[in-house]
Amino acid sequence: MTFRFDQTYKLMAEEDPRGSITLIAGIPLAEDADVENVDRELNIERQNADHIYRVQLGNQTSLLHFEALTHYRSDWGRAQLDHAILMEQKYRLPVRSCLLLFREKDTPAQIPEIVRRESGDLTQKLKVQIIRLWHRPAAEVLASNSVVLYPWVALMDATVEEQQEAARRLRDAGREGLQMHMALLGALRYGSRESFLERIGRMFLTKEILRDSPMWQEIEDEARAEGLAKGVAEGLAKGVAEGLARGVAEGLAEGRAEGRAEGERRALTTILRRRFGTVPAWAEDRMASAPLETLERWIEQAVVADSVESSLA
């Protein structure tokens, strides 16, 4: 899973673990079962499972292990098996493993539920529960009144009216971060953010919501400070030769402009890194020379694009 979707999944799964298990994954839990999130890091090489829950019922304790795929990959079983083995070794508890599929497109109708690997005399086998989100009823999520689960409605078996209702509730709750997550998931299902917003009636996720996020503000504030300091320094240096007053004024103006552009570059870099893991050198070079208008356009594309290449198209 890309970093951006990983963050979305973690946020919603950790805030309402019981709802995530019962309503999103469709796995029944006894009413008196205790559920908690546990550390996803599995070994010193920092291999992370997508999500792990510890479930305790009476004196019996087990782990629920989830791996999630935004785009189906035929080699998913290798990581699923590796993570299940590592978490059993770390926690010494029985493991129940699930594969959570985000979208129907390019997903085969038949997926093996047994993952097997053989190496000489060693045989490893894992039974996996396959969960297709587009088969899960969105009505159950809406009936739960769990705000943090509403973004999942974008991927579930939902009517347009149910998706609109989930969007309306998020808007009324003022959870702009969750609104952004729902738009991100909707873009994954319907091909673009624009297509999803047209479907639900453009209820939310304006550019202002993104710009009002703490991450964006932190990036822009830092960039403005750096740009202003640079402008003052360059202005003072220019003032020695061209006249102090004129040099400082021009330097400040240039510094503000560069600070704004630098803020866009930093925001774009952060979005690309969180969505795709790394930013190639060629992409950094393109961003370094791009004008402000192009950077703003790329930011909007990067929120819903499938790759770094399409983000900077």
Q: Residue holding tokens 């402000």? A: 292
Could you give the 3-state DSSP secondary structure of residue 96?
strand
The confidence score (pLDDT) of residue 72 equals 92
CA angle 301, 178, 130 (to 5 degrees): 90
pLDDT tens, 3-57?
A: 456 566 666 677 888 999 999 899 999 888 998 888 877 765 557 788 899 999 9
Q: Which of 14-18, 63-67, 72-76 bottoms out in mean pLDDT, i.e. has the lowest?
A: 14-18
| Cβ 305 vs Cβ 299: under 8 Å | no
C-alpha–C-alpha distance, residues 83 and 297, integer Å: 38
Pick from 171, 169, 178, 181: nearest CA to 142: 169
- With a CB cutoff of 8 Å and minimum separation 6, the contacts of 294 are none
| Cβ 303 vs Cβ 211: under 8 Å | no
**With bands split at pLDDT 50, 70 and 90, how would you rate the model's confidence at 91?**
very high
**DSSP track, 50-65:** SEEEEEEETTEEEEEE
pTM: 0.63
Q: Which of 60-74, 96-110, 161-175, 232-246 bottoms out in mean pLDDT, i.e. has the lowest?
A: 232-246
Percent of the chain with pLDDT over 90: 37
Q: Is the pLDDT of residue 240 over 80?
A: no
pLDDT tens, 199-235?
A: 877 555 454 554 544 444 544 555 555 555 555 556 5
Mean pLDDT score across all residues of the chain: 80
Q: Which of 110-124, 214-228, 262-276 bottoms out in mean pLDDT, i.e. has the lowest?
A: 214-228
The confidence score (pLDDT) of residue 215 equals 42
C-alpha–C-alpha distance, residues 301 and 107, integer Å: 25
